[in-house]
Amino acid sequence: AMLLVTARELELALCGTPTLDLDEWKKHTVYKGAFANDRAEHPVTRAFWQVVERWDDERRARLLQWTTGSARLPVGGFAQLQQRDGVSRCFCLTSIPVSQATYPRAHTCFNRIDLPLYDRPANEMPRALEFVITNATAEFSMD
């Protein structure tokens, strides 16, 4: 029997799960907002990367897909990520007040994740990231 799957699940099924180089991913990440100065050492971004480090390739691919619209990287890797119109656009982590978003938000057109400024990021980030990649759908909003 054929099961109904999303386009994202179909891409992973047809193309397989890529192996994503976490060091390259970090190297080619842009940090904005409250993360601009401390970058990967900000408590929220540190919690984000700790979660991603613990994940297997399938979960990492789902995160990449949730963020960029594709579970695969271009030939040049993270350094060559592009917007939908072909303009080069690195993976980006930016801050957002918890009052504006309880969970991380992805902006696939910009390869960006808005991470809430959690009070206890080491406790809250694992649950929040798991929720968004598990419940991500092909639905889009304009916010």
- Catalytic residue positions? 109
Which has the closest alpha carbon to 12: 140, 133, 139? 133
Six-digit token string for 38: 């401390």
Check: CB of residue 95 under 8 Å from CB of residue 34. Answer: yes
Which has the closest alpha carbon to 52: 42, 63, 66, 41? 63
